[in-house]
Structure 1
Amino acid sequence: MENQTFTISVYSENNVGLLNRISGIFLKRHINILSLNVSESEIENVSRFVIVVHTTEKWVQNIVGQIEKQIEVIKAFYHIDDETIFLENALFKIESGLLFDEKQIQNIIKESNSEIVTVSRDFFVISKSGRRSEIEELYQNLKTFGIMQFVRSGRISVSKEKMEISALLEELKNKQI
């Protein structure tokens, strides 16, 4: 089987220590997590982990199975890139003088569909949302001018197909009643 990029979505209760146990599942298999994001989900009191890995489908199936064995985990899914809509976010902090002295920076910002989120006497901050390759391209374009600080978020993702997590939760809730 060939390695490819998978996005794993894990719906869970928000309990202390779960992130550590989930990351341990990857550690035991020597699989590097490329991106990790944890946030509230569309379901009240349910968190969603979005984990990106590069491995084989067999390994990702095994990992999802192990993740689902965790008591707090409600359900885990995995998707290939073609089955999801995904973005990353990045912030670039640049010296303020360059914004006015280097007209090329203004063109780079405009052409990359980025936006300036703040300007101060000493620096300005550019925000960019998009695919990793778009953020990497902007990084390379700004690198020659000097980047004071840079940060990129983990992938955020929604599936193209309907995920039956809400129906599953409703079914579990009805069984408890």
Structure 2
Amino acid sequence: MKQQYTITVYAEDQIGLLARITIIFSRRKINIDALNTSSSEIPGIHRFNILIDETEEVVKKLCKQIEKQVEVLKAYYHLNDEIVWQELALYKVPTSQVTEKMNVERILREYGARVVSINTDYTVFECTGHREETDKLVKVFENYGLIEFVRGARVAIIKDSEGFHKKIKEFEAKQPGEEVIENEFLSQNATVFSM
């Protein structure tokens, strides 16, 4: 059964990686509903939040495929109840409607919105919340001649996570395993064996 999943990817900040990640989705004909990239809590490491509607089996395969990219450190996936998330929306409304017909104070209070720009021709409102909340405000502003609407991509934090930087520190503190030492020995002596 398809559900809404947020895929979180931690990766090195490298040119072209975003294109390679999105190709993984387009090759499988999977639509990305929202995509957000930003720096993470670790210098030099970026965080991608990718929102899709898919089955868990497909999402698991996508994460494994994403992790095959050299620059990717880890890819996680979560349902909506496993993350804390928000989306930002901006609404442009004619200023004449705002001053003459709209109860601005009530809208600001009821929807948690705020005014970010007032111009003689238009006023821009901002609202942060879940998609259902920002969609309700679209309907309200449509009654007042909504000129323009834009919604930003999802920003999400995993509820049951101590932060990826802790996992990186644990990884860096580990001593190489026997398998790594054995491979290192073979590569150093490869010329001796090939003679």
TM range (shorter): over 0.9
Deviation at 1:174, TM superposition (A): 3.8
More displaced, 155-164 or 167-176?
Answer: 167-176
Structure 1 21/119 Cα, relative in aligned 2: closer, same or farther at 3 Å? same
Give the secondary-structure state (helix, strand or coil) at the position aligned to 1:89. strand
Q: In the TM superposition, what are the counterparts of 1:46-65 in structure 2 within 5 Å?
A: 46-65=45-64
Instruction: Say if 2:98 and 2:144, in contact at 8 Å, map to a contact too.
Output: no
2:168 match: 169
1:114 match: 113
1:25 aligns with 2:29: no
1:129 match: 128
* 1:90-136, Cα deviation, whole Å (9 max, x unpaired): 11111111111013454333311101112121211100000000000
- The structure with the larger Rg is 2
Query: Given residue 91 of structure 1, which amino acid in structure 2 is its aligned partner?
Result: L
Instruction: Say if 2:102 and 2:144, in contact at 8 Å, map to a contact too.
Output: no
Q: In the TM superposition, what are the counterparts of 1:1-177 in structure 2 within 5 Å?
A: 2-163=1-162, 165-174=164-173
TM-score normalised according to structure 1 size: 0.93
Instruction: Say if 1:86 and 1:155, in contact at 8 Å, map to a contact too.
Output: yes
Give the secondary-structure state (helix, strand or coil) at the position aligned to 1:15. coil
Mapped to 1, the partners of 2:115 and 2:26 lie a distance apart of 38
Give the secondary-structure state (helix, strand or coil) at the position aligned to 2:69. coil
Aligned length, in residue pairs: 176
Instruction: Say if 1:75 and 1:165, in contact at 8 Å, map to a contact too.
Output: no
2:179 match: none
Give the secondary-structure state (helix, strand or coil) at the position aligned to 1:24. helix
Report percent identity of matched pairs. Answer: 36
Gaps of 5+ in 2: 177-195
Instruction: Say if 1:91 and 1:127, in contact at 8 Å, map to a contact too.
Output: yes
Deviation at 1:163, TM superposition (A): 4.5
More displaced, 158-167 or 20-29?
Answer: 158-167
Mapped to 2, the partners of 1:20 and 1:175 lie a distance apart of 33
Mapped to 2, the partners of 1:65 and 1:76 lie a distance apart of 8
Give the secondary-structure state (helix, strand or coil) at the position aligned to 1:117. strand
More displaced, 143-152 or 20-29?
Answer: 143-152
* 1:130-169, Cα deviation, whole Å (9 max, x unpaired): 0000000100111121122211000000011015522321
Mapped to 2, the partners of 1:131 and 1:27 lie a distance apart of 26
Mapped to 1, the partners of 2:122 and 2:11 lie a distance apart of 40
